[in-house]
Structure 1
Amino acid sequence: MAGNSQPPNRRVSKKKGAQVGSGGQRRRGLEGKGPTPPAEMRKGHAKQRAAQAKARRAHGRQQQRKGGAKGSSELVVGRNSVVEALREGVPANALYVQQFIDNDDRVREAVRFAGERGGVHLVEAPRPELDRMTNGLNHQGVVLQIPPYEYAHPDDLVAAAFDEGEDPLIVALDGVTDPRNLGAVVRSVAAFGGHGVVVPERRATGMTAGAWKTSAGAAARTPVARATNLTRALEAYQKAGLTVVGLAADGDVELQDVAALDGPLVVVVGSEGKGLSRLVGETCDLRARIPMPGGAESLNAGVAAGVVLYEASRRRA
């Protein structure tokens, strides 16, 4: 039949070889593909399926909670942010990597850090899933899931100090909303032998990934407690024998004249803009000011807490 027969004298070969316009496919085929990815990143591997199922369950529980609710998970997005969080030891339970992503140095570094840490599930997910998880943020194909922080009870900080035979040294933050300030305070408390930090449950920052990073690892060994009502928590500390000293620019006494620094102590630090709230200020046993001969109007919460903690530590030594 016309059109089905081969032309006469035409050689037909089935031998495979380079074709016109192959564009160097054979050369690229000889190039190495890099190290073998971990089992959790291999498509179809049993460990990948198990990790994806566990991460989906965790993400489902997170989605059931309202955004910012107590005990909710947090997502760190973007290649640089994820790598930095893993490098600084921020707790994580899942690393989501976009399917068919451009595997650059930062992505490989994030996967390596997650694998070395242990307990961080590697999950390969399509881009639409990551877009949905992050509400359309520019995640760059990498998302790190941070588990909910386990806050202590304010009473636990005092009990732990007394169990060690030491006078409690605690910092309470009133209205501090910058997580970097919280992280800096946690770091100072750890450096000067304090027993923990108390933050209000509302209108204040909690232990976010930013706070973890600023603490430079101190958050792993310094408890942070959350108080439903900061004023009541301070009153409970007073009943337990602690002196509550609030920091204020118009304080009644200068820091070096506060005799209570070498005993059971709670230092209350307010926000840089508003300072101590009225009820908290009235609850304090006394309000102290940090002398600043240089003429600065105020210090941020992290620096102010560090100054007082140093002075208290010096006297206790």
Structure 2
Amino acid sequence: MYVLEGARLCGEAIEKYRNGELDIYAAFASEKALERYSQYIPTELFEDEKAVDFFTVSESVCDFMSGTKGSQGVFLIAKTDERILADADISAGKRCGKYIVLDNLQDPGNVGTILRTADAVGVDGVVMCNNCCELYNPKTIRSAMGSALRLNIYNAGELSEVCEVFAKAGVKTFAAVIDSDATSVAKCDFSGSCAVVIGNEGNGLLKEDADCCDEKITIKMHGNINSLNAAMAGGIILWEMFREDNGRDTKL
């Protein structure tokens, strides 16, 4: 189980519950929140004894429960959706699939931000491998702003196993590295089925992991900067992956 906090996020989760796409065990809200965010919290949904348990709590309890300052006073406890990456999950055989792979990222804020960006551009799936931080970490869920509910997110072990699954499906894999000899993302051909691997914040991808991929790519930089925040790098790469899909000029 995990916790969802905030009116809009909980509202989206409730819609998924109504559609049978998410299991919710309990809901909590203050009286002020029920009045202020009534459009997101349909209390009639919780009146059935067989439905979700609903609790009205005080403002002070909300502050105690909250992981942030200035709580909106709305919380849900939901069931996690753990999916292990398998050959059948890759949609390359049906259409041009595009994926982002997170390898050993440890900052939940970075993971959440990448999920939000991946959702915005329209990736087919996100793979989390090599002991990435917990998807259901409250900070990850907050940073993702609902994208964790919408995306196809898979767990995996070693990156080599992930690359094998993609290779069988005809998905080309790209390792994002800091290497002047690697292909610039601005010149990379992302037109086919592909997956980009983003490595750990401090160490990047291990050489043996990068070597598992079909090609190495990099973000060319100027001046004294030789690396970017993982979420920022992921955002740039995701934009380039979908540049052609968005009808934009592929030549910079």
Settle same-fold status: TM greater than 0.5. Answer: yes
SS at match of 2:211: helix
Cα 1:125–1:167 change in 2 (3 A) is closer
- In 1, Cα distance between equivalents of 2:171 and 2:39: 47
Instruction: Output the CA distance in 2 between the equivalents of 1:125 and 1:217.
Output: 24
**Equivalents in 1 of 2:92, 2:167: separation in Å?**
15
Separation of aligned partners in 2, 1:198 and 1:190: 13
Structure 1 vs Structure 2 CA RMSD:
3.5
Match for residue 269 of structure 1 among 195, 198, 214: 198
Structure holding more helix per residue: 1
Structure 1 residue 282 displacement after superposition: 2.0
Aligned to 2:154: 225
Q: Indicate the residue corresponding to 1:249 in structure 2.
A: 178
Deviation at 1:116, TM superposition (A): 5.3
Find the aligned partners of 1:96 and 1:225 in 2 and give their Cα distance. Answer: 29
- Name the CA distance, whole Å, in 2 between partners of 1:196 and 1:109: 35
The verdict on how the C-alpha distance between 1:228 and 1:116 changes in structure 2, with shifts beyond 3 A counting, is farther
Give the Å deviation of 1:257.
Answer: 3.1
Shift of 1:290: 0.3
Give the C-alpha shift of residue 86 in structure 1.
Answer: 2.3
Instruction: Say whether the 8 Å CA contact 1:93–1:146 is kept in structure 2.
Output: yes
The residue type paired with residue 149 of structure 1 is: D
Matches within 5 A, 1:1-317: 73-75=1-3, 81-83=5-7, 85-86=9-10, 89=13, 92-96=24-28, 105-106=32-33, 113-115=40-42, 118=45, 121-124=52-55, 138-139=64-65, 144-151=76-83, 153-158=85-90, 160-163=91-94, 166-200=95-129, 202-250=131-179, 252-253=181-182, 254-259=184-189, 261-293=190-222, 295-316=224-245, 317=247
**One-letter amino acid matched to 1:153:** L
Q: CA deviation at 1:113?
A: 4.0
CA displacement 1:165-208 (0-9 Å, x = unmatched): x2221110011122332222222223223211000263433244
Distance 2:180 2:135 in 1: 27
- Asked whether the 8 Å contact 1:89–1:213 carries over to 2, the reply is no
User: Residues 151-172 of structure 1: CA distance to partner in whole angstroms, max 9, x if unpaired?
Assistant: 25343442x3432xx2221110
Note closer, same or farther for the CA distance 1:221–1:88 as it changes in structure 2 (3 Å cut): closer
Amino acid at match of 1:139: M
Change beyond 3 A, Cα 1:150–1:203: closer
Q: What's the offset of the Cα at 1:296?
A: 3.3
The structure that has the greater radius of gyration is: 1
* Local SS of the residue matching 1:94: strand
Distance of aligned partners of 1:242 and 1:93 in 2 relative to their CA distance in 1, 3 Å threshold:
same
**Superposed displacement of residue 227, structure 1:** 0.9
Structure 1, 273-282 or 198-207: larger mean CA deviation? 198-207
Identity %: 24
CA distance 1:303–1:168, shift in 2 (3 Å): same
- CA deviation after TM superposition for structure 1 residue 125, in Å: 9.2
| C-alpha contact (below 8 Å) 2:10/2:74 kept by paired residues | no
Evaluate the alpha carbon distance shift between residue 251 and residue 190 of structure 1 in structure 2; reply closer, same or farther with a 3 A threshold. farther
Assess, with a 3 A threshold, how the Cα gap between structure 1 residues 93 and 234 changes in structure 2: closer, same or farther: same
- Residue type of the alignment partner of 1:210: K
Cα pair distance change 1:116/1:232, threshold 3 Å: same
Check conservation: 2:3, 2:77, Cα contact below 8 A.
Answer: yes
Matched pairs, number: 224
Shift of 1:298: 2.2
Which of 218-227 and 294-303 deviates more? Answer: 294-303
Structure 2 alignment gaps of length 5 or more? 15-21, 67-72, 248-252
Contact persistence 2:185–2:218 (CA under 8 A): yes
